[in-house]
Amino acid sequence: MEDNMIHVHVENADGSVDTMECPTDMGLSLMEMLKASEYPVLATCGGMALCATCCVDVLEGLDKLGEISDDEYAMLDTLPDLLPNSRLACQLRLNPDMHGLKFKIHDPQEG
């Protein structure tokens, strides 16, 4: 694996796990990477921490992510089904510490 690449793991709804290879030197967010890989992430606000449609639930590696900013927390807090491990993928800038991160795309519970 090249120095500027990491692997993150995406758990699908059926329990299968995909591995995504992500560059860490392009300033991309995890949301941008998910969209580029055609995962069902709406990201309607374009990464401004204003829509929460890029929410992911972190399964492994939560402690390697940076602190939640006030903006991210404020947006997450609007989700009725927020989990303690939920984060906004648009606020997670890909970096070497995220190698091995495992998560699933947050599934909004209606009603």
Binding residues for ligand FES (CB under 6 A): 31, 43, 45, 47-54, 75, 88, 90
Q: Which is nearer to ligand FES, 6 or 30 (CB)?
A: 30
Minimum gap (Å) between residue 53 Cβ and ligand FES? 6
Percent helix, percent strand, percent coil in the chain, to nearest 5: 20, 25, 55
Q: Which is nearer to ligand FES, 8 or 54 (CB)?
A: 54
Minimum gap (Å) between residue 89 Cβ and ligand FES? 6
Q: Positive or negative, the Cα torsion across 8, 11, 61, 30?
A: positive
End-to-end CA distance of the chain: 44
